[in-house]
Structure 1
């Protein structure tokens, strides 16, 4: 049984440093939204019924009453921030598009990745919110926290790479053939697989699969394959001493230069710089 969380009457910000020894014994739920941001380390995030591997810059917006739990996996300590909020905390006439995208559909899960070049802006806003929370002025602090949260969500909306949560490990689609194709990609991303290979498993022709996959998921087949490979490569970079070429080959990239270009495009930095960001020399807390 999930643990039932508490209720809140204002925005609450909580930043913690966690080691891999930290255990959340059971999933929990609460009746408010949670914005979860990982600034350092890595973790496996369970949000019923899926598991997601998160890396620095990952953001999840968790709807109310959604069972979730976390297991931290980094060799170094992880730093996470949890921002709890209610519908009314971001209710603003000019923010209607944000409300409709992130809040109105309580069954939708949002998993996003902030490129490294913009993570500093997100983390500065979090520090501002923590400072305001410490001031705790009766009327001004709730308003300032709401303004900061709205600004944070706008930045996430503008600069993040939106990831359909149902595509992270196992696409959720009513189309069985598309699901077969996605499952095949997830199991064989580290092999040399072609559109023809994927189409053969699905039972569709290559052209029809490409069109149907895009219609159902919002991603092209090759785009999804590259996303899975890059996500797995980022985890390997953070947790092994493998060379860049080895990481590329281990995750299905036959050309290390292409891997470097694709990685830089997705994460805003080279694989080497990404690894340095999670190295012991950089492991001090930013908070």
Structure 2
């Protein structure tokens, strides 16, 4: 099934976000990250690769991945693909928590997978067509998806380690939100630790243990993502982009950019 290449953010009134994956053109890698929402990737064409807790999952057309709340994951999209992404706020599932603000879904294939995939495709198609009453139909499909999630994919017995990790990533979420809002400023480990009442050593250990990434790497990834957006937009030159993104200068950004992407910022902008 082919879809229009556009970012979709449904109007106010829908309890979810629905859009096409930003890495649909290929040559894309999303570094380790996590979020409070449940996220579902449904591959309609092409393929994607996920890494979750050091386990790799390869998805092809007709398959989907459920990413749990606060589950650290990274995504590889080397080739073009058509992938629907559905983001569901955690609070939608509050009646089904197995612990304090905790619910967990399996990644393993199940007997309802074909129907679940059909519903995801129908949800997106309904939004694109926008026929009379489409909003009511979308909500109907969405709640059918929720029903399958809690009935077929929810785990009622979860290891204590998952629950502990979830709680600590909740704490880290407040910190990473602050980092994303202030990425252009000086954000030393010591200063951020002071703001949130931790010692630098403890905060550094939290990132490494629960997110599987260092504080420095996480901050640099945020800055590189914003730099890429500015470079692609073409509004700012290399030096302006570097300073806007929180780098000390164009040379520092070039080193980080080349280390991660294998090319210089100038090369990326020429091909963007």
Structure 2 length normalisation: TM-score?
Answer: 0.48
Structure 1 length normalisation: TM-score?
Answer: 0.46
